[in-house]
Amino acid sequence: MKIAHYFFLLTVILLWGCSSDNNSEDDSEDLTAEFEYSINGTPMGVTVESAFKNSPTIHIGNGNINTSFLIDFDESGHFGKITCTYTDFSGTKRFTSYRNFSSNYFNFQLISYDAVNKRVKGTFQGNVYYDPADLNSEAKFINGSFDLPYVEYVPAVTNIINKATINGVNWRSTNMYQVRQGDYHTITLHSLSDDVYKVMFTFNDQNMPPGVYNFTSSSTLNNVQIAKFNVTTASYTLYNCTGTLTITNKWANCLKGTYSFTGVNPSDPNDIITVENGDFKLDYDLYN
Amino acid sequence: MKKILLILVLSIVALGCSSDEDADPVVAAPIDFKLVIDGVELEIPREDTPAPGISSGGVSKIGNLLHVSVYNGYASTDAAFNLILIFTAQGKFVSGRMNFSSYNFGNPIYTNFIHFPSNYFQVDTFILDEVNHKVKMNFTGNLYYNNQSLTSEAKNIHAEIDMEYSDNPLGSSPPLAINNVEQYCRANFNANPWEARYEYSYSSFTNEDEYKVEIKFANSPTPGSYAFDPLSTTNYVRLSKFNPVTLVYDYYNTSGEVGYTYREFHGTNRYSFIGTFSFTAVNPTNPTDIIQVTNGEFRSYQQF
C-alpha cells in the first residue's frame, strides 16, 4: 500500500469515525408552532407560539375571558368553548360556540396530546354565535387547526374543576356560565361539558358558609341539579334532584365542596340519573 | 515502513476519536433559579439572559434581609404575578406575598401564615457567601389566601436557588407602623435580642418566631411605672408562644415592671405609648421553662 493510500484511509476514518452521536441524532425539543383559523373563509392573521395548560384545561389564545380569540378544551379532548371577535362594516362583535351539548354543534378534534413533549394538535370547525345560547342568533363559520407546544402555568386559583360520575361514567366540566336571580345575590352556576348534561349550583353569594346542605326537588337554594339537553327541542329537561351538597370552603369568588344526588325525570319516573363523587372548586363573577 | 504507517493511522484514530467528554467530564451547570409552584415548574431566566415579557427572578439583600422576588408576566394566561419572599441573613423565613393580576379571578393575594411564619416555610439549604455575594438556598412552603387559616386556599412554593445576589447594605425595610405611626418593640429574651416586625392588632407584637408580646395600659394621662403580675388586668406586659399543634398561643405567667414616659395623642382616644419593660415569664405547665425579658422598649399603639 502506498503512503498516499494510508493518508487517504486516515482521512476517511477520521471524517466518518469521529462523527459523534450528537450529530446523528436530533433530540432537541420540538418548538415548531402552527396555528391558523378563518372566519367565513377569511384567514385571520394571528401568530400563536404556544398553547397554555392549567391542568386539565388547555387553551389557545389569551386566557382572559375578554379576548379576541380563545379556544379551550381538556387533555382528554373534550371541547370547552371557542370565542372570537369579528369585525365588518357594522363594527366588532364577539361570537362564541353554542354552549349546550357543544360536541353536537361544533366539530373539535384533539388529534394528539403529548404530555411528554408537551404538545397538542387538533382541528376545529363549526358555527359560532352572537348569543352562545341561541342557535338562531347571528352566526359565523370558523375553522382552523393547531400543532403547538404548550406551556404549563400557575393560575391565580389552582384546580378549578367540577367532576363527578353520572350514572357511573366519569364526567368533567369544560365550560361554565352563571345566572343571577332576581334578588341579585342568588347565583346559579351552570357547569357543562361537551355532552348533554349540565350540573347547576344555586347559592347565595353572601350567605353560604361551609357546611352540609341536604336538598330536595323543592329546594331553591343551596342545592345541586342536573339537566339533560334535548336536541329536538333545543332545551334542557331539568330533573327533580334530591341529595347532599357539602361546602368545604368559600372565599372571595370561589366555592369548593362535594356533592351527590339523584335526579328523576319529571316526565318519566323511570328515567333516573345518579350523580356521585361530585367534587368541585368553581369561581364566579362577583359583579355580573 | 508499512507496519509503522498502519500503527500510526490506528494510533491517530484511537487518540483522535476520544471525545472531550471522556477527557473532561461535563459538570452539570449550577441551577440558577428553579421555581415550582403548585407542582408546575416555571422557567426563570438568568438575569443576564432574560426572556422579555415572560418572567424574571432574582435575589437582593436589603439591609440584613434577603428578598427573593419573581415577576411572571404570562400575558396569555390571565395569571401574571409578583412573588416576594423575605428571609433573614441566617436563612429564616420572615414573610411572603404573591399578588396575582387576574381578570377572571379578581386579583387574589396569597401571604404567609401570620403566626410563627418561620415554622411554616421549610428552608432545607441556606448558604450565604457575603464575600462573593452569592446565595444558595432551597425552601418549600405555602402562602395562603387567608393568612390566619392553614386550611384556606394556598399556593405551594418550592425553590432551588444558586446565584449571585445584589446588595443594598444601606437599604432597610419599611418601619413597623400603625395608621402611619411608627411603632417598635424590642427586648432581650434570655439575653438574646428579639425585635417585633408585626403589630397585627394594637399593642400586640410578633415577628417570624413563635413569641408574642402584648402591652396594655390604663387610660391615664400621667406617665408612670407599674409592677405587674399574672393577675394584673391593666398596666402589664404579657408573653405567649404559638403552639403549632393547637394553633393557639400558650401564655406565660409574667411578673415584672412596665412603664411609659410619654403617650402621644393621635385623636379620639388613640395613643402611642413610649416606654420600657422587664419581666420574668414562667411557663405555667413547665416551671423550668423561664424566659428573662430585659431591656424592653416599645412604642405601642392603644385605643380606649
Instruction: Copy the grid coordinates of residue B100.
Output: 396575582
A4 close contact with B: CB closer than 8 A: no
Per-residue pLDDT tens for B213-242?
999 999 988 899 999 999 999 999 999 999
- The pLDDT of B103-121, averaged and rounded, is 91
Across chain B, mean pLDDT equals 86
Torsion of CA B86, B87, B88, B93, to 10 degrees: 120
Closest partner CB to A154 (pick from B8, B12, B42): B42
Q: How many CB atoms lie within 10 A of CB B45?
A: 15
Nearest CA in chain A to B39: A154
d(CA A66, CA B103): 8
pLDDT at A256 over 90: yes
Residue B194's pLDDT is what?
Answer: 96
Closest partner CB to B77 (pick from A1, A153, A251): A153
Question: Would the CA dihedral through B194, B195, B199, B200 be positive or negative?
Answer: negative
**A252 closest CA partner among B98, B79, B114, B109:** B109
User: Greatest CA separation found in chain B?
Assistant: 113
Paired sense of beta strands B93-101 and A223-230, if any: unpaired
Decide if B78 and A155 are in contact by the 8 Å CB cutoff. yes
Cβ pair B36, B42 in contact under 8 A: yes
Question: Would the CA dihedral through B32, B36, B40, B42 be positive or negative?
Answer: negative
Residue A14's pLDDT is what?
Answer: 44
Torsion of CA A271, A272, A278, A282, to 10 degrees: 40
Q: How many CB atoms lie within 10 A of CB B224?
A: 13
DSSP state of A24: H
Cβ pair A284, A189 in contact under 8 A: yes
CA A86 to chain centre: 22
Residue B28's pLDDT is what?
Answer: 46
pLDDT at B21 over 60: no
User: Greatest CA separation found in chain A?
Assistant: 103
B103 close contact with A: CB closer than 8 A: yes
A66 close contact with B: CB closer than 8 A: yes
Paired sense of beta strands B55-62 and B166-168, if any: parallel
Instruction: Copy the grid coordinates of residue A186.
Output: 342568588
pLDDT at A24 over 50: no
Q: How far is B97 from chain A (nearest CA, A)?
A: 13
Residue A199's pLDDT is what?
Answer: 98
Instruction: Copy the grid coordinates of residue B257.
Output: 415592671
pLDDT at A42 over 50: yes
Closest partner CB to A251 (pick from B13, B103, B145): B145
Instruction: Copy the grid coordinates of residue A53.
Output: 395548560
**A188 closest CA partner among A150, A244, A214, A226:** A226
d(CA A106, CA A128): 8
Residue A10's pLDDT is what?
Answer: 47
Name which residue leads in pLDDT, B181 or B26.
B181
Paired sense of beta strands A139-152 and A51-54, if any: parallel
**B204 closest CA partner among B150, B173, B242, B151:** B242
Local confidence band at B75 (pLDDT 50, 70, 90 cut-offs): low
B104 close contact with A: CB closer than 8 A: yes
List CB contacts (< 8 A) between A287 and chain B: none
Residue B57's pLDDT is what?
Answer: 83
Decide if A6 and B6 are in contact by the 8 Å CB cutoff. yes
B52 close contact with A: CB closer than 8 A: no
DSSP state of B120: G
Cβ pair A62, A69 in contact under 8 A: yes
**B154 closest CA partner among B105, B86, B186, B108:** B108
Give the A window 82-141 contacts with B, CB below 8 Å.
none
CB contact burial B233-255 (16+ within 10 A = b; e otherwise): eebbbbbbbbeeeeeebebbbbb
CB contact burial A129-154 (16+ within 10 A = b; e otherwise): beebeeeeeebbebebebbbbbbbbb
Closest partner CB to B76 (pick from A20, A62, A256): A62
Q: Which residues have C-beta within 8 Å of that of residue A114, sequence separation ≥ 6? A: A120
Strand partners of residue B239: B213
Closest partner CB to A251 (pick from B2, B13, B152): B152
Phi and psi (nearest 5°) for A23?
-80, -25
**B97 closest CA partner among B81, B105, B109, B115:** B109
B69 close contact with A: CB closer than 8 A: no
Residue A65's pLDDT is what?
Answer: 63
Per-residue pLDDT tens for A107-144?
999 999 999 999 999 999 999 999 999 999 999 999 99
Decide if A63 and B104 are in contact by the 8 Å CB cutoff. yes
Residue B47's pLDDT is what?
Answer: 57
Q: Determine which helix (DSSP H) or strand (DSSP E) holds A6, and give its type and residue range.
A: helix A3-17
Decide if A156 and B78 are in contact by the 8 Å CB cutoff. yes
Lowest-confidence range among A153-162, A209-218, B81-90, B292-301? A153-162
Tell me the CA end-to-end span of chain B in Å, nearest whole number.
Answer: 109
d(CA B83, CA B97): 6
B149 close contact with A: CB closer than 8 A: no
Nearest CA in chain B to A255: B153
Residue A4's pLDDT is what?
Answer: 53
Local confidence band at A53 (pLDDT 50, 70, 90 cut-offs): very high
- The pLDDT of B165-181, averaged and rounded, is 84
State the best of A154, A253, A282 to mutate against chain B, taking most chain B CBs within 10 Å.
Answer: A154
pLDDT at B9 over 80: no
CA B260 to chain centre: 31
Residue written as cell 406575598? Answer: B97
**A71 closest CA partner among A104, A40, A107, A101:** A107
Residue B171's pLDDT is what?
Answer: 75
Closest partner CB to B77 (pick from A10, A63, A157): A63
List CB contacts (< 8 A) between B57 and chain A: none
A9 close contact with B: CB closer than 8 A: yes
For residue A96, the number of C-alpha atoms closer than 13 Å in the C-beta half-sphere is: 17
